[in-house]
Amino acid sequence: MFDSGVGGLTVLRAIYERLPDEATVYLGDTARVPYGPKSPETVLRYTREAVRFVRARGVKALVIACNTATAHAAEAVAAEVDIPVIGVVDPGAREAARVSRSGAIGVIGTRGTIESGTYERAILGFRPEARVRSRACPLFVALAEEGWVSGPVAELTARAYLDPLLEQGIDTLVLGCTHYPLLRGLLAQVVGDDVRLVDSAAATAADAARLLEAEELEAAADAPPRHEYYVTDDGGGFADIAARFLGAPLRHVQRAVLETDEAGREA
């Protein structure tokens, strides 16, 4: 699994719950996070470099946990590697298309994810008559990392971002960013009982489970699985933030040095 930083640990956590026998390799590009405000070309180049590192560890399938990286790079990377690639956008989009009563679906994410229109296209692919309303909510990333997931600052921010979507009558809201599951309690309170929240992390873990079964790639449950964690930088209170996202301390985190690909050549 690859993410721009620690946010993907929410997806890893969902994978642990859904696929407890699978060994995992997690790479967080903490030296270059955030990906949200960066150009599609830069995110594609970073993603190729990260994928090369993860593949060299002999993985049988790859989850791109970062919504921004999925939006800008999943299709290209999937065409370049010979293992299954699962992004977080399609699982969340499919779930939203399925659960929405009226077809009025809100999507929130980073600027990069929202401006790419990837969620909107995916939702319309699953449900052509859907009306998708999107909004970039960049401050949610900082709030989640700071641990400000409730209280007046978080609530005011959430209302400022979400009120315009609610005014457009959405009945479903896709949490299209790795960090947003940490704000789930607050977001649920702000949108109220009539709006369903769709968490891409849980939907992705369910998709990964289906894929491993279909491809007969499931691990045997005969030994405790090994979990490896790599980051490109471990400063900035990384360990505390990461533990909050994973819901447990990360053990034996290693520093990854990525081979850079300045020319943006193929992975």
Q: In terms of CB distance, is 16 or 180 closer to ligand DGL?
A: 180
Q: How far is the CB of 180 from ligand DGL (least distance, A)?
A: 8
Measure the CA–CA gap between 204 and 93, rounded to whole angstroms. 10
Binding of ligand DGL at residue 67 (CB under 6 A)? yes
By CB under 6 A, is residue 108 in contact with ligand DGL? no
Dist. CA 254–CA 266, nearest whole Å: 26
The residue from 12, 14, 51, 66 that contacts ligand DGL (CB under 6 A) is 66
What lies within 8 Å, CB to CB, of 163 at 6+ separation is: none
Tally the residues of the chain: 267
Nearer to ligand DGL, 84 or 138 (CB): 138
Among 10, 30, 47, 68, binds ligand DGL (CB under 6 A): 68
Question: Please, which residue, 218 or 238, has the CB nearer to ligand DGL?
Answer: 238
Choose the binding region for ligand DGL from 33-41, 148-156, 163-171, 204-212 (rule: CB under 6 A).
Answer: 33-41
Q: CA dist 117 to 4, 82, 264, Å?
A: 19, 27, 23
Q: Which is nearer to ligand DGL, 178 or 204 (CB)?
A: 178
- Which positions are annotated as active-site residues? 66, 177
* Site for ligand DGL, residues 111 to 130, rule: CB under 6 A: 113
The reply on whether position 10 binds ligand DGL by CB under 6 A is no
Identify which of residues 47 and 110 has a Cβ nearer to ligand DGL in the complex.
110
5 part of the interface to ligand DGL, by CB under 6 A: yes
- 64: contact with ligand DGL by CB under 6 A: no
Name, in order, each residue with C-beta under 8 angstroms of 214's C-beta and a sequence gap of 6 or more: none
Is 28 near ligand DGL (CB under 6 A)?
no
Could you tell me how many residues of this chain bind ligand DGL (CB under 6 A)? Answer: 18
Q: Out of 9, 12, 14, 33, which residue is the one contacting ligand DGL (CB under 6 A)?
A: 33
User: The tokens 């609530």 sit on which residue?
Assistant: 155
Residue 43: which residues within 8 A CB-CB, separation 6 or more? 35, 68, 69, 72, 73, 112
Q: Under the criterion CB under 6 A, does residue 13 sit at the interface with ligand DGL?
A: no
Q: CA triplet 28, 33, 38: central angle to 5 degrees?
A: 130
Beta-carbon count within 10 A of 28 CB: 32
Among 25, 105, 141, 267, indicate the residue that binds ligand DGL (CB under 6 A). 141
Q: Which stretch binds ligand DGL (CB under 6 A): 18-26, 28-36, 150-158, 248-256?
A: 28-36
- Interaction between residue 51 and ligand DGL (CB under 6 A): no
**Continuous segment of H or E residues that includes residue 120:** helix 118-126
| DSSP characters over 145-194 | HHT--SSHHHHHHHHHHHHHHHHTT-SEEEEESTTGGGGHHHHHHHH-TT
What are the two backbone dihedrals, phi and then psi, of residue 62, each rounded to the nearest 5 degrees?
A: -125, 130
Query: How many angstroms separate the CA atoms of 84 and 215, rounded?
Result: 9
Chain residues binding ligand DGL by CB under 6 A are: 3-5, 7, 33-36, 66-68, 109-110, 113, 141, 177-179
